[in-house]
Chains A and B, each alone.
Chain A
């Protein structure tokens, strides 16, 4: 019955009931909402619970975006610290989880942008046809995945982020547009370019 949402004020003696709406609303889980409110007011223990609860999914997201677990953990750590600083201003129009998803995505975008570009020539070398052919389908599939990982490194930060959110995390173009802060058309264009690059890379590899 946690869907029942009522608000009843019990003012202390000689004080009028406060009619202002509560800020605790819109959370799927009331406990998550309470923890967020408490953390926003400076309760470190409440924040620690939120970190522990959301870290696994966020590290997974960052690993998919960056392709490297250690870098992903650093990005998530920075994102949580930045969230702690910004929590007092968090308006709670979305849940803490959605808010963190956005912060981590943008943090990873910055990491990707700061990476030294891999030159296309080097990358092309990586995709050159192997010297010998493994007939086994399994080896082939594994090599294709490896090839794709390398091809991902050749995408621009924005293409890669939009593509990962779409293809690996299965989000709608609308959600990605909101998360990354660009138009849906721009997301579509980036996903298209990413797919184009990846099919070319895989085609060359085959």
Chain B
């Protein structure tokens, strides 16, 4: 191979790099058959095919050594520095988002949906065993006024779900009003999965 450029995006069939062995078989076919472990009496006995397979198995043994050298490296990898570099960039970026209104109609106070959602998810997760996922806060069509909150959660098994939902709603509503100053017209809780986890209610650090 003297070039680093593959031919245009079409497969040209057995390509110029293929080779017809003295027995008439194509090298690509012999290797492919060996890789698929397809039983072929000819390949097992033909000296040319056996040579071709031997070449490939020699390659494979070197590949195994290379694999052993490269794979264990990742088990001891400490991702801290990389994570920090990625998050430095991520936190600098202003991701477009939707502002939602805070306070009374005559105020001009807004908070980004993603920021408010973080507080509401955290409030939901004060209920034991609950994990929060999607949290959408929708402002009214008029722009300002009461918002609608829709929160998806994973709930613990073995607890009455309506009670879990009610408790999550109570805490999320409290956090929305008291910690953020949002005016939620409705807080919809959707349980999207049931997971093993600590069951039973314990009073977490709720807001009200």
Partners in one complex: yes
Q: Of the candidates B1, B9, B77, which one forms a contact with A193 in the assembled complex, judged by CB atoms under 8 Å apart?
A: B1
The reply on B62 being an interface residue by CB < 8 A is yes
**A189-B11 in contact given A37-B133, A60-B77, A202-B58 (Cβ < 8 Å):** yes
**A199-B117 in contact given A13-B186, A34-B131, A56-B74 (Cβ < 8 Å):** no
The answer to whether B1 touches A60 (Cβ under 8 A) is no
The answer to whether A158 touches B6 (Cβ under 8 A) is yes
The reply on A128 being an interface residue by CB < 8 A is no
What number of residue pairs across chains A and B have CB atoms under 8 A from each other? 220
In the bound complex, residues from chain A placing their C-beta under 8 Å from that of B5 are 156
In the bound complex, residues from chain A placing their C-beta under 8 Å from that of B134 are 23-24, 37-38, 41
In the bound complex, residues from chain B placing their C-beta under 8 Å from that of A142 are 65
**A149-B59 in contact given A10-B189, A12-B169 (Cβ < 8 Å):** no
**A145-B65 in contact given A60-B70, A156-B3 (Cβ < 8 Å):** yes
**A9-B17 in contact given A24-B134, A30-B195, A157-B4 (Cβ < 8 Å):** no
Give per-residue flags for A56-99: 1 if the beta carbon is below 8 A from chain B beta carbons, else 0: 11011001100001000100110011001100100000000000
In the docked arrangement, what's the CA distance between A173 and B154, Å?
36
Chain B contact-residue range equals 35 or more
Q: Of the candidates A12, A23, A24, A76, which one forms a contact with B188 in the assembled complex, judged by CB atoms under 8 Å apart?
A: A12
In the docked arrangement, what's the CA distance between A81 and B152, Å?
26
The answer to whether A199 touches B58 (Cβ under 8 A) is yes
The answer to whether B59 touches A77 (Cβ under 8 A) is no
Instruction: Mark B residues whose CB is within 8 Å of A.
Output: 1-6, 9, 11-12, 15, 17-18, 27-28, 31-32, 55-56, 58-59, 62-63, 65-67, 69-71, 73-75, 77, 79-80, 82-83, 85-87, 89-91, 93, 95, 97, 112-114, 117-118, 121, 131-136, 148, 150, 152, 154, 157, 161-162, 165-166, 169, 185-196
